[in-house]
Amino acid sequence: MRVLLPALALAAAVAGCAGGGERLSREEFVDQATAICSRAEERVGALAQPESIEEVETYAREARAITEEGVTDLRELEPPEELEDGFDSYLEQADEVVALLGELERSAAAGDEAEARRISGRIADAADAQAAARAAGIPECEEAAT
């Protein structure tokens, strides 16, 4: 189960780092997105690390809730126009991680360790947010995801 831990932490970091109001300046956007990324990363980091498949279910459920909350907060930001496409791509990855955390929760609830490991690998792949974070103009979120 220790193989799952880095992938889940990475998944939450992705989530911690889109729009509905007045466009923010680049500096405002970076500051606000970074704060959201940091808060989500901190909260996931504080979760008890799972030692069994049963604990993975709880961990995945809690990590998914934190990730969803971070994505919701990010969607309220209106990035500068030049960062919009990159930010949209970043959010797509975050949505994929949320869905995969739900799958991980269900596989752990069923006691299927092999499936949980497979999904964990998919989470790690989906959570590779370095390029998306750079394109979104939030390199601090890139650092949080590594």
CA distance linking residue 126 with residue 78, whole number of Å:
24
Q: pLDDT (tens digit, 9 = 90+) per residue, 32-59?
A: 998 998 898 899 989 999 999 999 999 9
Q: pLDDT (tens digit, 9 = 90+) per residue, 52-105?
A: 999 999 999 999 999 999 999 999 999 999 999 888 988 888 898 899 999 999
- The secondary structure of residue 81, as a DSSP letter, is G
CA distance linking residue 146 with residue 82, whole number of Å:
25
The pTM assigned to this predicted structure is 0.78
Q: CB of 10 within 8 A of CB of 68?
A: no
Q: Is 18 in a helix, a strand, or coil?
A: coil
Instruction: State the Cα angle at 96 between 114 and 26, rounded to 5°.
Output: 140
pLDDT value at residue 81: 93
